[in-house]
Structure 1
Amino acid sequence: MAEKILPKPNSLMPLSICRSDILPKKDDTMFGNIPIGKVQKGGRKNAVADLRSFLNHRSRHYLYHISAPDLSEFYCSRLSAHLAWGTLSVREVAQSIVKRRSQLSPDEKKSLGRNLTAFGSRLAWRCHFVQKIEDQPEIETHCMHPAFEGLRVNEHNEAHFQAWENIPFNMFTCHVQKAEN
């Protein structure tokens, strides 16, 4: 990750024998309903803007809000699509994290530094799982450990589901209260 980022090529060699069907538009019925709310914009300029916005502002509360559905839209990195489509490279993001950390004051290192470290860790785990699925594509449809194959043969048991659904909520809160006493 520390190696030099390669410069943008001046041009790309087109593939002369590549043929494709016409790509459907984003609002084609094959994609289902039109997304409600904001749709993230793609492209290199937006990728760089999203990275800068995250490193300079949105990452300040990353750890506290990343798992909160109502706040994660703002505090998460918003870089997944850019990494998947190649408008940003993992190396570029990793080096940007290191550079941003080096710019922090001692006070910022305590809070913002911790958030950037956590994000860097998630970035590394993303790479790990991308490599895992490349090396073992069967884990998409089979258990990683053979002992667990067949565990969910009966996908849905209505009687078990009803029993679970009818557990009184206060049963759990009472248990927690007793444990605290």
Structure 2
Amino acid sequence: MVFDDFSLILNKGEIKAIVGPSGVGKSTLFELILGRLKPNLGSITALNLSQVFQDPYSSFHPTYTIREQIRDVVSMEGYERLMDTMGLEEGYLDVLPHKLSGGQLQRCSILRSLLMKPKLLLLDEPTSALDNQNQLEIMKLIVEHLEDMGILIITHDDSLAQWCADEIIQLS
């Protein structure tokens, strides 16, 4: 079993990173936490969570604007400051997802997740579509919100995990 005797507690203000090679079960762990998969034994309790997936194009419906999709799930209150910090232009919200680059769309995905004000933020390779400068800025922005939530991040990037995580969980 991939997660025999696996236990994880994540508190507000903590970042834990799940690191390991492809195929080891990192994404399966997220699917279990999200409730999309059911554990064979044991239980998972995760309340008020939001997620950012590696592929931002799978996170948005192709025929609705970004603004429509954000408004469908959350209030837009405070979005201007977040957009400014992430280098997003207001016009990005009024286009269809395929009109944005992968990096722009990933930042929109992160914007939506932060606006949801989750207690748990799940990040699956959240900065892989961004250049190095934007990776750092986005992670700084996410870390600024730690007082309100705990963050669980999946990453192949050991340096990112070492930079931001309170604990690194190595899966092999």
TM-score, normalised via structure 2 length:
0.25
RCO comparison, higher one (Cα < 8 Å, 6+): 2
Going by fraction, where is helix more abundant, 1 or 2?
A: 1
Which has the larger Rg? 1
Going by fraction, where is strand more abundant, 1 or 2?
A: 2
